[in-house]
Structure 1
């Protein structure tokens, strides 16, 4: 039998090493924020999905008072189901820790690894509003009391969130976030902890006690791998796409 050529072997290995990523965005943002990372991974032959959740970014025209946390969870669950995705690396950033945790309750068997990037790790019955800064919690409640569909973020994004070079771009893209997603308690039974390969990445320049606790909890759990990226803002995928891409690929 003729020997296989090295080129074919190399191509086969590259094919087997290809990963499928699903990126879930945080509050006020959409799939656009992952573009620098998506481009890098796609250039490496990987498959990347970065949906905008209902009511945000390119789907901001769908913003209504009826959108809640279940809506955003369904966005991710249905993407994975309808695209028939398997062996997914699910990446959740910030608010999306709630969305990802909820989605895993339905599609955990299709996810082989997770990366929580400066993200919440909620317990059953928690609401996003419960973990928000006091000032923002008041803004959420005020918007809800007024019957508004969305709550606005900061008019000016500070350096602890994004580097100056990326600030104008980010400010031009952010949209109001559906109020209902902050107020609905999450229902989780521990599907996140059952994922075989788990990584938590903390961006300590962004002050958030709940992310600090998540990092500490993950450090104390041998089933998690943890990293800290100092001197990088909360929107690390814009500020340091090479480093974030490397870590996510390593974590997959």
Structure 2
């Protein structure tokens, strides 16, 4: 990690994934702030501290609007955007709609959408089929176990399990058109959590498209289990982008 003031003047927007909330960045954000960054951790509608707003009608469009409204009302200046898992769908849409805002884009074990797709289109057939069945019945998918997310520490696992909530699946069924991944290669980085194999093909897609490709020996929730190591990768990328921009 660079000096404590390495990120002085940098703004970083963190977008969490399904089942989680802004709380999921707690340890990771603390490190970025200690390095001088201004860090934003909004929560998407229906999740985390906004779980009281959960509804089957909550969509991907809702979540994109959440972030755009946060940027507007919190007066967030152009930022390095970091997204985890499902949050990558939101981040890529933000990049397409507001390219002047996104100074760099880091996806951590996230979907990498291209063309007109939904999350269901990007999932394996079994997962997508079960998801569509849940969408038609309850509208929500129950949260995964902390063990499946790669969280082995009992104390952290208990803390996380108390905060995970069901995810509104309308957001997975919504089809949205995205730019090709190759068009983001100049400012994109993909970080693969190698103990979790579900997103490996998106890591390979990013690498073929010319993105910077990094990996971390962690499960899916690396920002919770390996915050220091993950922060080191992200900070170095942000600094390299800032040097190029200067």
Q: TM-score, normalised by structure 1?
A: 0.84
Matching residue of 2:47: 56
Query: What is the aligned counterpart of 1:251 among 223, 237, 244?
Result: 237
Q: Note the C-alpha offset of 1:130.
A: 2.0
Structure 2 distance, partners of 1:251, 1:67, is 33
| Structure 2: runs of 5 or more not aligned | 239-246
Q: Structure 1 residues 53-62 or 99-108, which shifts more?
A: 99-108
- Confirm whether residue 218 of structure 1 aligns to residue 206 of structure 2: yes
Query: What is the aligned counterpart of 2:17 among 26, 29, 32?
Result: 26
Is the contact made by 2:6 and 2:35 (CA closer than 8 Å) also made in structure 1? no
Structure 1 distance, partners of 2:194, 2:74, is 35
Matching residue of 2:244: none
Q: Summarize deviations over 1:37-57 as a string: whole Å, max 9, x none.
A: 111111222111111100001
The 5-angstrom pairing of residues 95-106 of structure 1 reads 95-106=86-97
Q: TM-score, normalised by structure 2?
A: 0.86
Query: What is the aligned counterpart of 1:125 among 111, 116, 119?
Result: 116
Matching residue of 1:242: 228
Q: Note the C-alpha offset of 1:135.
A: 4.4
- Confirm whether residue 69 of structure 1 aligns to residue 60 of structure 2: yes
- Confirm whether residue 228 of structure 1 aligns to residue 219 of structure 2: no
Matching residue of 1:200: 190
Q: CA RMSD in A?
A: 2.1
Aligned length: 233
Q: Secondary structure at the match of 1:157?
A: coil
Q: Note the C-alpha offset of 1:21.
A: 0.7
Q: Note the C-alpha offset of 1:24.
A: 0.6
Is the contact made by 1:92 and 1:115 (CA closer than 8 Å) also made in structure 2? yes
* Larger Cα-atom Rg: 1
Query: What is the aligned counterpart of 2:157 among 140, 164, 167?
Result: 167
Query: What is the aligned counterpart of 2:76 among 73, 76, 85?
Result: 85
